[in-house]
Amino acid sequence: MSTLVMGVLNVTPDSFSDGGRFTAAEAAIARGRELVAQGARIVDVGGESTRPGATPVPVEEEQRRVLPVIRALAAEGIETSIDTIHAETARAAVAAGARSINDVSGGTHDPAMLDVAARAASEHGARFIIGHWRGVPDPAHQRSDYADVVAEVRDALAERARAAIAAGVDRGLIVLDPGLGFDKTGEQCWRLLAHLDRLTELGYPVLVGASRKRMIAEALAGVGIEADPAARDLATSVVTALVAGSAWGVRVHDVAGSAQALAVAEAWQAAGAETRPAPETRPAPETRPAVDMGSAQDMADPPRTGISTADSMSTGGAGSEDRIVLTGLEVFAHHGVFDFERQNGQRFIIDAEVSVDLRAAASGDALERTVHYGELAEAIAAAVERDPVDLIETVAERVAGVALGFAGVRRATVTVHKPDAPIAAAFADVAVTVVRP
């Protein structure tokens, strides 16, 4: 999985003091562009600090700060998220063009948030980023009493994800965030990071927000380095390198530093992956009806459509490992380099193969010990539908990230077919395949 960078854009009156040459909004918009130029995929726009001890901002003022910035960046095709705990601000921000609601309270602060997130998901394909918190941040960390911080944060996030789904948020649009620094000591934050796999096992993408936080200062203080927030960027970038490939994204102030960290980590990981056997290429499916289960006969003759669980098929990528194979998943979406492709949309056909140990599920006949293929299909379809991009390579990478987010998945082989691609000559199919990690 390629980890993305989310750049922090705090729009508060004192964030952009330049002696009055620009308004706060103009300066924030310019900063948003700069973050993207440095490598941010998403610009996270916030108008109220959620740091412990910060003064609350009325929602009218919060919206006055963030909406013009989101509107202007969205008009330039820059993807934004809204960092807010207020449902009304989230609703207005999505209407202004924000593609994610980043709620550090995970929908617990404002009772209307889950409904707003559900509507934003169904009407705009907006993600819902669920942060872990135990209440309005408390500078004294009096609520940081965990017997097992990893298990408790994991369980609480899983519960919030279920609540969001019950309210109508599409499962494939949920992102979880451990809420580093929110009612957690530095040591607890490091524990959460060191056990990030326990969170990714839940099957959702995970966002990490360690940037400039006290946990970084504490680690540096351990070797005698006093670092005020702006001096914590190098150490933050090291965290980015350490979570690369596990986290879906990192929320950081210094985008350039994290982009470099990711480039290094990904070069490292890619070089390691090169020693694995290369996948065979598979012929393109000819017909692709709705998803169904592969039969025993299909196992002998690998299925062209459907979902199957097998340890004997040799369709490439996974060697002799157990795997679940989903083929011919048809999704209508708006990817492509041409304007008409963006406007009209077209069919994309997805084949996904996930390597997962199936023995425990089989011996206990236990669904919870395997990948629920219905949920996998749903999550993949949601990922393909949202956020139009130019390339099917990007779509394939995104789908692989979703598949790798499912508990127990060790490898994902994803093929994205574009059978109606605008190619002048007659052709049967065009497709790309990625194998991750």
Query: Any idea which residues carry the catalytic annotation?
Result: 213, 251
Contact 129, 101 (CB under 8 A): yes
Q: Choose, by CB under 6 A, the member of 49, 144, 269, 394 that binds ligand PMM.
A: 49
Q: Choose, by CB under 6 A, the member of 97, 107, 209, 419 that binds ligand PMM.
A: 209
Stretch that binds ligand PMM, among 15-23, 176-184, 291-299, 329-337 (CB under 6 A): 176-184
Contact 91, 80 (CB under 8 A): no
Q: Is 66 in the site for ligand PMM (CB under 6 A)?
A: no
Q: Closer to ligand PMM at the Cβ: 80 or 211?
A: 211
Q: Choose, by CB under 6 A, the member of 41, 91, 154, 212 that binds ligand PMM.
A: 212
Rounded to a whole number of angstroms, the minimum distance from the CB of residue 295 to ligand PMM is 44
Six token digits for residue 233: 């960027």
Q: Closer to ligand PMM at the Cβ: 45 or 324?
A: 45
Tell me, what DSSP letter sits at residue 368?
G
The residue written with tokens 């924000």 in the block is 98
Q: Choose, by CB under 6 A, the member of 29, 114, 118, 180 that binds ligand PMM.
A: 180
Q: Choose, by CB under 6 A, the member of 80, 100, 102, 355 that binds ligand PMM.
A: 102
For 321, counting Cβ atoms within 10 Å of its Cβ (0-12 exposed, 13-18 middle, 19+ buried), the class is middle
For 237, counting Cβ atoms within 10 Å of its Cβ (0-12 exposed, 13-18 middle, 19+ buried), the class is buried
E-assigned strand segments in 206-312? 207-208, 249-252, 306-310
Q: Is 251 in the site for ligand PMM (CB under 6 A)?
A: yes
Amino acid at the residue 116: V
Rounded to a whole number of angstroms, the minimum distance from the CB of residue 413 to ligand PMM is 30
Q: Closer to ligand PMM at the Cβ: 149 or 371?
A: 149
Phi, psi torsion values for 414, nearest 5 degrees: -125, 130
Instruction: Tell me the residue nearest to ligand PMM as measured from the CB.
Output: 209
Tell me, what DSSP letter sits at residue 415?
E
d(Cα 432, Cα 395) in Å, to the nearest integer? 9
Residue 343 has a CB neighbour count (10 Å cut-off) of 10
* Binding pattern for the stretch 301-340 against ligand PMM, x by CB under 6 A and - elsewhere: ----------------------------------------
Nearest to 98 by CA among 17, 9, 161: 9
Residues 103-122, interacting with ligand PMM (CB under 6 A): 104
Q: Given the rule CB under 6 A, which residues bind ligand PMM?
A: 8, 49-51, 83, 102, 104, 129, 131, 177, 179-180, 207, 209, 211-212, 251
